Amino acid sequence: MLSGPKSYLRENPYMKKSREETAETRQMIVKTAAAEFRKNGLQMGVADLMSAAGLTHGGFYRHFQSKDELVAEACVEALNTLIDSLALTASKNADSGPLKAVVLKYLSTGHRDHPANGCAFAFLGGEIARCEKKTREAVAECYQRLIDLVAGLLPAELGDRGREAQFIVTSMLGAIVMCRIPTDRALSARILNDTAEQIITRYSL
Amino acid sequence: MLSGPKSYLRENPYMKKSREETAETRQMIVKTAAAEFRKNGLQMGVADLMSAAGLTHGGFYRHFQSKDELVAEACVEALNTLIDSLALTASKNADSGPLKAVVLKYLSTGHRDHPANGCAFAFLGGEIARCEKKTREAVAECYQRLIDLVAGLLPAELGDRGREAQFIVTSMLGAIVMCRIPTDRALSARILNDTAEQIITRYSL
DNA sequence: TGTACATCAGTGAACGCGCGTTCACTGATGTAC
DNA sequence: TGTACATCAGTGAACGCGCGTTCACTGATGTAC
């Protein structure tokens, strides 16, 4: 194969370095899109996205078949990064209430005010629900990952930790969706604080 | 004034019937938009919206200064209609658990599958958060209305009914946002049922 | 009451603009021998 | 090693299309006298 006819060459790992660099560029576009979509919504344009990544729009289709493909990957990237960072928060607070730390981090004004690093379920949920099947399924898998993380932080005594985790996650999600609507900062903060307090009290975190 | 010079005529209620009909048409456009926006998102076009209302796009600006003006009114219309219908459900079930009936109606697959009549917080929340101040403030007032409705259905013994209501509403909201993402109907239904069960159990509804 | 005029909701063509996507081209890099 | 050639990420102009908005026009209805 390695010394085979020309038509086979494309399937072999020639030009390794170039391919690695290309993959890095692609990943950088995905990461940029993950931030920009959360800030501006999924209707943000390909040209603006590429320029936020320091490139011009024409090169976009060297990396992606369509904008939809990027949307799917960017949502998954955004969610996995968020879940990783919540898992890190949990392990950093393993001794002093890991779930409490996760809840307080998720329901913080910092989360509310920095959509670029925030929860794509909350910032883009409505739009994702209108996306194509593949995107929705990939995002649903991330949801499962988040549920599993939270379930693992709940006391083993609890009857059905998955169900409790589901409730905790959707509660927090709803609070972040809602708290971003009012322009009244006090009302907004109250939504976050009330929800955090309810969860912490109910689960004695 | 009534017999004053021409320049004053516009301020008087001449052509009463026409003005009423115009107001009805305008209201019909708002109601159509309230449904269409929830189905397709706020980025839905003015031309499609007007054609869904049985009109052509050109007439739009006889009724609204801009699309943003319609967006604000349509969101408020959608939310008030939803809140009214939940209040009706509560009063119909005044004897047999009004809040339980409200929770089960909100967290139903019927709600999930019929966005045209659904909760604009859940279906459009992320997009509304990116709207202009006026829209966000008007929507936040509707949120307060919903909180007050739910708070009024909670037992008076509860310490802070507003806070409890806030938690119930954001939990339900988060569940509806999330349940619309998976294509797996079983997972989707589980999100709704788990949340309903948790709320009903916790508040002994 | 009848006639001439004014109003204005609704129509459909047109506006400039930005969208997702395509394409001919460039130039840096890797391959062939 | 040196030279001729192939690859392909990235560029920027261009594509058709749909967007929000404007405008000259229409025709039904109301007003003036």
Note the pLDDT tens digit of each residue in B173-198.
999 999 999 999 999 999 999 999 99
The structure tokens listed for A23 are 């993959």
Buried/exposed B4-13: b ≥16 CB within 10 Å, e otherwise = eeeeeeeeee
For tokens 């708290």, name the residue: A179
Amino acid at A14: Y
Which letter does DSSP use for residue A182 in this model? Answer: -
pLDDT for the residue B56 = 96
Closest CA relative to residue A113, chosen from B136, B138, B129: B129
Dump pLDDT digits (tens) for A56-108: 999 999 999 999 999 999 999 999 999 999 999 999 999 999 999 999 999 99
A203 touches chain B (CB under 8 A): no
B182 touches chain A (CB under 8 A): yes
Report how far residue A137's alpha carbon sits from residue A119's, in angstroms, rounded to the nearest whole number: 17
Contact between A53 and A32 under an 8 Å Cβ cutoff? The reply is yes
Report how far residue B131's alpha carbon sits from residue A12's, in angstroms, rounded to the nearest whole number: 50
Contact between B156 and B115 under an 8 Å Cβ cutoff? The reply is no
- Averaged over B76-81, what is the pLDDT? 98
Tell me whether residue A71 is exposed, middle or buried, using C-beta atoms within 10 angstroms of its C-beta: 0 to 12, 13 to 18, 19 or more. buried
Q: Enumerate residues 6+ apart whose C-beta is below 8 A from B153.
A: B90, B98, B99, B102
Contact between A92 and A83 under an 8 Å Cβ cutoff? The reply is no
Region of poorest pLDDT, from A52-56, B123-127, B201-205: B201-205
Report how far residue A60's alpha carbon sits from residue A146's, in angstroms, rounded to the nearest whole number: 31
At A86, is the secondary structure helix, strand, or coil? helix
Global model pTM greater than 0.75: yes
Scanning B137-176 for CB atoms below 8 A from A yields 137, 139-140, 143-144, 163-164, 166-167, 169-175
The gap between A47 CA and D14 C1' (Å) is 15
Q: Is strand D less than 7 A from the beta carbon of A87?
A: no
Backbone angles phi, psi at A204, to 5 degrees: 50, 50
- Bases of chain C below 7 A from a protein C-beta are 7-14, 18-24, 29-32
- Averaged over B72-84, what is the pLDDT? 98
Contact between B150 and B102 under an 8 Å Cβ cutoff? The reply is yes
Is residue B4 predicted with pLDDT exceeding 90?
A: no
Report how far residue B1's alpha carbon sits from residue A117's, in angstroms, rounded to the nearest whole number: 61
- Averaged over A125-132, what is the pLDDT? 98
Amino acid at B164: E
CA A168 to chain centre: 17
Q: Enumerate residues 6+ apart whose C-beta is below 8 A from A119.
A: A79, A82, A106, A111, A173, A176
When scoring A75, A131, A181, A195 by the number of chain B Cβ atoms within 10 A, the one with the most, hence best to mutate, is A181
When scoring A38, A43, A143, A178 by the number of chain B Cβ atoms within 10 A, the one with the most, hence best to mutate, is A178
Residue A17 is inside which H or E element, if any? helix A16-40
Dump pLDDT digits (tens) for A144-163: 999 999 999 999 998 899 99
Dump pLDDT digits (tens) for B18-48: 777 889 999 999 999 999 999 999 999 999 9
pLDDT for the residue B113 = 97
Q: Please count the other Cβ atoms lying within 10 Å of the Cβ belonging to residue A123.
A: 27
| Share above pLDDT 70 across residues of chain B, in percent, rounded to a whole number | 91
The structure tokens listed for B194 are 């788990």
Closest CA relative to residue B169, chosen from B127, B193, B199: B199
Is residue B12 predicted with pLDDT exceeding 70?
A: no
Report how far residue A192's alpha carbon sits from residue A109's, in angstroms, rounded to the nearest whole number: 8
> Nearest nucleotide (C1') to the CA of residue A28?
D9
Q: How many residues does chain B have?
A: 205
The structure tokens listed for A44 are 């943000």
> Nearest nucleotide (C1') to the CA of residue A14?
C30
Tell me whether residue A143 is exposed, middle or buried, using C-beta atoms within 10 angstroms of its C-beta: 0 to 12, 13 to 18, 19 or more. buried
Which letter does DSSP use for residue B116 in this model? Answer: G
pLDDT for the residue B112 = 98
Which letter does DSSP use for residue B17 in this model? Answer: H
